[in-house]
Amino acid sequence: MNNKCLEKLEYNHVLEILCSFAKTYIGKNKCKSLKPSNNANYLLEQTYEAYNLICRNGNIPISEIDNIDILIKNLESNFSLDACDLLKLTHILKTSRELKEYFCFDNSDYNLISNYFSDLYINKQLEKEITDKILDENTISDNASIKLKSIRKSQKDLSLQIKNKLNSIVHSNTYSKYLQDTIVTIKNERYVIPVKEEYRGQIKGFVHEISASGSTVFIEPLSVFELNNELNNLKADEQIEILKILEDLSKKFNLITNELKNNVFLIGEIDFIFSKASFSKSINGIKPEINKDKFINLISARHPLIDKNKVVPIDISIGKNYSSLIITGPNTGGKTVALKTTGLLLLMAYSGLLIPANERSSIYVFDNIFADIGDEQSIAESLSTFSSHMLNIIEITKCVSNNSLVLLDELRFWY
């Protein structure tokens, strides 16, 4: 379809609105690049099925997904993923499962979209395992493995032992007068106590930090040195065990990389199709009849970019009894809007978007649509010059065929 025509008829403004209905980056990209097609009947039927499904089951359960291309490459290279990346892949599985459940009924009336749902791969067991073991991107569950649970219990017990020893120091009559505060804190991942600088020699141990004012030193008493070492060893063991858990989970995802890639594709397609359906629903769109007799009959057609509370519906008929139509009337009488409405609704229908008109409306799929429309009322451009009108008309005459629709505005310029 002629790009100038798309601009003149403000087709891109429709795409901007359409994009707002997409949830995923794939869906948004497909909406932005949507172009009119000669396969309009198929596309309209597909959108109409999605439209009916929304009316039946409500909005589709879909949300943004991450681009997992790099994650898939890492898996295929046998690299382990971190918790955050594993959750991203799990979200793909969760979205796929919810979409499949959304479509889980007698779907014989949805032949054009059913494959998108039936081809989705689901793995409830792996999905549950991930969500059970990874609580969030920074937290692995204690129950992720028996060993991890044991290590963390030992950490908890040892931490309590260390804090009890240090509390006995900070609350003792002997040492409390040397302390800046009667608290136990952590510096450099080791338990310490805050000692007044002038008494730092009274408590034997290792200085880990000095306050900005220099009045406080944080000392690790010798009595807890070995216990702190043991605790840090347990923390190291914890990290090693977590890496093993993540490695094991990554291997399970490595077995289904093709399924994940296909799911991402299908989710993007579903999002795109249902974005068109949701947009169509928002404008009270209908599926027009597509005829083979080269005529247009738009009944109560409404321009989709004009406030629905202010737009004036129009009837446009051409092609049955006459092949040319001249619209006359005063300035600001709606002539340009009538032309734009006709052209834009056809472009929308060719793109698989239901159109705001009466259900008895009928359209023909032209090979091409050409437009030379004055832009006094355009949202996108300022007024075109006489020269640009002339060049546009010349270009149209070179490209037009007997299966084209030509929309010309302000014909008085050519008398």
- Per residue in 217-239, pLDDT (tens digit) is 999 999 999 999 999 999 999 99
Identity at 162, one-letter amino acid code: I
Residue 104's pLDDT is what? Answer: 86
With bands split at pLDDT 50, 70 and 90, how would you rate the model's confidence at 204?
very high
DSSP code, position 369: E
| Phi/psi of residue 33, nearest 5 degrees | -100, 10
Residue 170 DSSP SS3: helix
Residue 374's pLDDT is what? Answer: 66
Find the mean pLDDT for residues 14-30.
97
- Per residue in 323-380, pLDDT (tens digit) is 888 888 887 778 889 999 999 999 999 999 999 999 999 999 999 999 888 654 443 3
CATH number assigned to the domain with residue range 146-235, chosen from the 4 options 3.40.50.1820, 2.60.120.10, 3.40.50.280, 1.10.1420.10: 1.10.1420.10
- Per residue in 378-410, pLDDT (tens digit) is 433 444 456 667 777 878 888 888 899 999 887
Residue 44's pLDDT is what? Answer: 98
Residue 58's pLDDT is what? Answer: 94
Residue 339's pLDDT is what? Answer: 93
The tally of CA atoms less than 13 A away on the side-chain side of residue 241 is 20
What's the pTM value of the predicted model, to 2 decimals? 0.87
Find the mean pLDDT for residues 193-209.
94
Residue 17's pLDDT is what? Answer: 97
Residue 375's pLDDT is what? Answer: 53
Short-list 57, 54, 26, 110, CA closest to 278: 54
DSSP code, position 295: -
Cβ contacts of residue 173 below 8 Å, gap of 6+? none
**Whether pLDDT at 415 is above 50:** no
Q: What is the mean pLDDT of the chain?
A: 92
The answer to whether the CB of 167 falls within 8 A of the CB of 184 is: yes
- Per residue in 68-103, pLDDT (tens digit) is 999 999 999 999 999 999 999 999 999 999 999 999
**Whether pLDDT at 107 is above 90:** no
Residue showing tokens 């002038």? 198
Residue 18's pLDDT is what? Answer: 98
Q: Is 107 buried (19+), middle (13-18) or exposed (0-12) by CB count in 10 A?
A: middle
Residue 228's pLDDT is what? Answer: 96
Q: Alpha-carbon distance 345 to 92, whole Å? A: 36
The full set of domain ranges for the chain reads: 146-235
Q: Alpha-carbon distance 288 to 298, whole Å? A: 9
- Per residue in 108-153, pLDDT (tens digit) is 789 999 999 999 999 999 999 999 999 999 999 999 999 999 999 9
Q: Alpha-carbon distance 49 to 57, whole Å? A: 12
Please, which residues bridge with residue 368 across strands? 404
Residue 412's pLDDT is what? Answer: 52
Residue 322 DSSP SS3: coil
- Per residue in 247-272, pLDDT (tens digit) is 999 999 999 999 999 999 999 999 99
The distance from CA 30 to its chain's CA centroid, rounded to whole angstroms, is 12
Identity at 407, one-letter amino acid code: L
- Per residue in 31-54, pLDDT (tens digit) is 999 999 999 999 999 999 999 999
Residue 413's pLDDT is what? Answer: 47
**Whether pLDDT at 165 is above 60:** yes
Residue 414's pLDDT is what? Answer: 45
Q: Tokens at residue 231, please?
A: 């605790």
Residue 318's pLDDT is what? Answer: 94
